[in-house]
């Protein structure tokens, strides 16, 4: 009996890659022209620690920031996390709304957790290690979020830094008389994310468009034959950690250990009317299982509007 939209806490997984891409571009960690080769794994430089693996065992080859979103290239974002460090990552992601209340007008909401050095010391009594930062780059590790936070962060991206609290209450009725609580244009706002180049927002949004419509987009099958153009980002959140030589096999695991399927998206691409963010608990891959659900919701709303 938990309102999972605002109280459900999950690793946001790869849904955060477009947001992190904007931060990395603005911080100069990568440029629009940065390319890297993905062999299927990444290791902390000059270390003998076990490699951090990509979801595609044989890798994606040569990719840039847009393709790394389209194909959800983990190794590209491991490197971004390593180069940015947890201090800059947490600072930027808090601007997108992670680690705080969204401002929605109900009282049942969790802040979830945007990890910082201070948080780990207070919570675990040990310092932050470099290896802690790497999984944060793909929305794993100590990072948790609610579906509402991911939806709000998606709106910040779409609105190019403008931050608006989500709302449910539109009006109140007293003794049969309707009193509008506030105009839609007067919803609570927060200071915008400023000084980010327009091109950086464009690149992140283009990556999300290609997720749904690109030749190698992770969700292209779910969004084929659309009457409109959409955008999105899938995520697959691990529930437990695998050993270095272990391989994930859902058939051998109890259901409560299966990955969570996440997806956040919006449509139409050039004139967004709706954002849909979902978490399917223990359902498996976000692109395989989450994206088709979002597609059906898009169709239901947009096709219904078209018939009006």
Q: Is 181 a catalytic residue?
A: no
- The catalytically annotated residue of 14, 90, 155, 234 is 14
Burial class (CB in 10 A: 0-12, 13-18, 19+), 209: buried
Q: How far lies 267's CA from each of 2, 155, 302, in Å?
A: 28, 12, 8
* Residues acting as catalytic residues: 14
């Amino acid at each position: 009996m938990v309102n999972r939209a605002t109280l459900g806490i999950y690793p946001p997984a790869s849904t955060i890659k477009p947001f992190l891409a904007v931060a990395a571009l603005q911080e100069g960690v990568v440029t629009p022209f940065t390319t890297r080769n993905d062999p299927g794994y990444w290791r902390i430089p000059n270390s003998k620690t076990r490699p951090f693996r990509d979801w595609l065992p044989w890798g994606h080859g040569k990719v840039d920031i847009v393709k790394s979103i389209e194909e959800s290239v983990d190794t590209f974002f491991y490197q971004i996390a390593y180069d940015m460090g947890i201090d800059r990552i947490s600072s930027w992601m808090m601007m997108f709304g992670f680690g705080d209340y969204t401002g929605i007008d109900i009282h049942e909401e969790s802040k979830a957790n945007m990890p910082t050095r201070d948080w780990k010391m207070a919570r675990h009594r040990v310092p932050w290690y470099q290896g802690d930062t790497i999984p944060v780059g793909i929305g794993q590790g100590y990072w948790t979020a609610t579906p509402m936070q991911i939806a709000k962060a998606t709106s910040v991206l779409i609105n190019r830094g403008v931050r608006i609290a989500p709302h449910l209450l539109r009006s109140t009725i007293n003794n049969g008389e309707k009193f509008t609580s506030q105009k839609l244009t007067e919803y609570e706002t927060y200071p915008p994310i400023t000084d980010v180049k327009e091109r950086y927002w464009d690149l992140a949004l283009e990556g999300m468009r290609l997720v749904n419509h690109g030749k190698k987009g992770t969700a292209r099958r779910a969004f084929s034959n659309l009457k409109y153009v959409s955008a999105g980002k899938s995520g697959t959140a691990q529930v437990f950690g695998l050993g270095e030589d272990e391989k994930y096999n859902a058939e051998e695991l109890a259901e409560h250990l299966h990955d969570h399927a996440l997806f956040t998206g919006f449509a139409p691409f050039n004139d967004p009317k709706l954002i849909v963010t979902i978490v399917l608990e223990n359902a498996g891959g976000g692109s395989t299982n989450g994206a088709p659900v979002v597609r059906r919701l898009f169709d239901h709303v947009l096709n219904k509007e078209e018939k009006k």
